[in-house]
Amino acid sequence: MESQYQPYQLIGYGGLFDINFEASKAVERIVDFGINDMQLHRIYGYIDPGNIASIKIIEKFNFKKEGILKDDAFARNKYFDMSVYALINKQK
């Protein structure tokens, strides 16, 4: 079945969950829906390189670090680097 959506999608859950279990379940559902229902080729996300908890969650679902975007985010009057993590659907 050919996807009617773009072949990639940005994942985001920052600030939505108070505990890692909830964030982990959300990522699990997003990955399942994205790969199985939407038939995406790629799901990606940006994570603060210092956010170890989020990195552990995303790596649990086989997301791989692709690189760092220098000065990509702006908050609290300064720029921050962001790591890019992605999951590639090898079945497509």
20: domain range? Answer: 8-88
Asked whether residue 24 is assigned to any structural domain, the reply reads yes
pTM of the model: 0.79
Residue type, 51: N
pLDDT at 4: 55
What would the pLDDT profile of 31-53 be if each residue is shown by its tens digit? 999 999 999 999 999 999 998 98
Evaluate whether residue 3 is within a structural domain.
no
Q: What is the CATH number of the domain that holds 81?
A: 3.40.630.30
Q: How many domains does the chain have?
A: 1
For residues 92 and 88, what is the distance between their CA atoms, to the nearest angstrom?
9
Average pLDDT of the chain to the nearest whole number: 84
* Helix, strand, coil shares, percent, the chain, to 5: 30, 35, 35
